[in-house]
Structure 1
Amino acid sequence: MKNKMSIIGVPMDLGQSRRGVDMGPSAMRYAGAIEKLQELQIDTYDLGDIPINRPDQNKIENESNLKNLKQVSEGNQKLAEMVDLEIDKGHFPLILGGDHSIAIGSLAGISKHYENLGVIWYDAHGDLNSSETSPSGNIHGMPLAASLGIGNEELTNLYGYAPKIKPENIVIVGARSLDPGEKELIREKGIKVFTMHEIDQMGMSKVMQETIDYLKERTDGIHLSLDLDGLDPSEAPGVGTPVLGGMTYRESHLAMEMLAEADILTSAEFVEVNPILDDKNKTATVAVGLMGSLFGEKLK
């Protein structure tokens, strides 16, 4: 599948409250994402960006405490349809965000092709909130919960089925900011999490090897959802919710290189690049470098 790759941009900034992340797909293209993949001899089809409707500022929507629920759902529905079609063609979907709410659509389109889809959630956050537990109402903090079937029905039932994934098929890597409701859900569902404490203690090599071994045993496809705020803000400053003490540039390259060698991924997304908050497009450039490692770029 990786010989033919479909790039789908999702300029979504409605899952959170800081403007600018809708320019993430453009920033990654500008940083050379397409050229990088072509250098690696991958047939690359850039399908452009999915149109995202803006909310009507004159109309107050009181359907829930979830911000921009209607527009986030509509955008994710379009994404799910497009991803589904590309997998049908035998293409590897690479999705460029946009805020992390787009993972709801990614997983909805991908999961129907697998019995047991595995997910590597490379992120500072668990994104396991629902309308009941979210302190903010921002949907970018809910995609993993929604994909497990937890939360508002418009999100959990997106693309006509639920759940998309099983808790035992998830590995969260790099967590260091979890809300109380998320910690409780992780314990209750037995979700495998490698926090920064474990990465510091075990080393990234062991963490990734355990992640690969764990998911290989139980899944028939694996999706990587990489939030750039998984990296330390000194390495990736252009993100909406930076958290100190994250993964280094080198650790992240090692993680991607190990995934490339294991050859287990069937889809991937890179999200939360916000060029307005960035320093000379540094974060988008880091994202493209990680894509290179993930898809087989080697030093020798």
Structure 2
Amino acid sequence: MTSGTQKKFSHLRVIGAASGLGAQDQACADGPLAFHHSQAWHQIERHPLVDWGRTLFAPAADHLSATARIAELCHHLADELELALQDKVFPLVIGGDHSVAIGTWSGVARFAGAPLGLLWIDAHLDSHTPETSYSGAVHGMPLACLLGRGDKRLLNIGLPGVQVSAAHCVVLGARSYEPEELVFLQQQGVRIIDSEEILQRGFAACLEEAGKIVAGTPAGFGVTLDLDVLDPQLAPGVGSPEPDGLGAREIRLALRQLAATSGLRALEIVEYNPDRDRDGLTARLISGLIGEILPAIAGRGGK
């Protein structure tokens, strides 16, 4: 990974994506507002390079299916991301279930004018299609959608065709997934660095490789972080916890290094479920992660 020295962004803007429609446990819809009202956020909002922009909600229309409502939210979220980047603001999306990633990275791809690199940090592969999904939950499908496969309502939101370059996409930290997802990503050429490989090679070496892959496209790259990649003892406030996750120190290291890498266009932190949080532990962790990227944002400009 190479250090980015260009002054590109004026400040960091948080954008809430308040939807749980893609998840079995829909309480993560409350995640953005709960975090916005938390003491953890109040401590970091004093920073001169941070502001909270808009919080977007899925339409409440009863006549629309859950997928149609997710699609409409993702269209609005894509517009919001494109607008932030046009304003030279660094966007940080707080979700919401991981289906909102379809909107986030479609908007960034539209701004870039080409498919992005993407680092998908997650306990799961999130690469089912409606035909392969065991649960039908859309938050298990967003990476497939960004790679051009899935419900047609969730495709082509940013660019015609794929939004993410498979050759510059890495899934890091996966430890619970179905064979259909694995086969799909392998066929696409996505690099998967699972928890077993991290244990064997060490996190720093895996992160270095992942960073080089995703940053290797002129269109730039993004980072999406599902909080369930962390060990549930450290981040209990998630809807789909998996045992034996990564440590907070490792994730802090990842965001610090990636934020300093040329070409980073946006960050997304998803699946915060305040109903399952314990004493604000997960909210404080989110705040700490934002703090890790601020020095790099500050180095690229100021208000």
* Mapped contact 2:237–2:282 kept (Cα < 8 A): yes
Which aligned pairs between 1:102-251 and structure 2 lie closer than 5 A?
102-114=100-112, 115-159=114-158, 161-251=160-250
Q: Which residue of 2 aligns with 1:274?
A: 273
Alpha-carbon offset, residue 264 of structure 1:
4.0
Root-mean-square deviation over aligned CA pairs: 1.9
Alpha-carbon offset, residue 274 of structure 1:
0.2
Question: Aligned equivalents of 1:156 and 1:228: distance in 2?
Answer: 25
Deviations 1:57-96 (A, max 9, x none): xx695xxxxxx11111111111111111111111111111
TM-score (norm 2): 0.89
Opposite residue 14 of structure 2, the aligned amino acid is: I
Opposite residue 35 of structure 2, the aligned amino acid is: M
Equivalent of 2:72, from 71, 74, 93? 74
Q: Which residue of 1 aligns with 2:55?
A: 49
Alpha-carbon offset, residue 253 of structure 1:
1.4
TM-score (norm 1): 0.89
Deviations 1:168-215 (A, max 9, x none): 110111011121111111221121111011111111111111112223
Q: Which residue of 2 aligns with 1:265?
A: 264
In structure 2, stretches of 5+ residues that fail to align are 1-7, 297-303
Q: Quick check: 281-290 or 28-37, which moved more?
A: 28-37
Question: Aligned equivalents of 1:60 and 1:293: distance in 2?
Answer: 39
Equivalent of 2:95, from 94, 97, 116? 97
Q: Which residue of 2 aligns with 1:5?
A: 12
Alpha-carbon offset, residue 146 of structure 1:
0.4
* Mapped contact 1:5–1:92 kept (Cα < 8 A): yes
Opposite residue 32 of structure 1, the aligned amino acid is: A
Question: Aligned equivalents of 1:204 and 1:264: distance in 2?
Answer: 22
Deviations 1:141-180 (A, max 9, x none): 1111001110111011234622111211101110111211
Question: Aligned equivalents of 2:209 and 2:138: distance in 1?
Answer: 30
Q: Which residue of 1 aligns with 2:21?
A: 14
Aligned residues: 287
Opposite residue 24 of structure 2, the aligned amino acid is: S
SS at 2:135 equivalent: coil
SS at 1:237 equivalent: coil
SS at 1:161 equivalent: coil
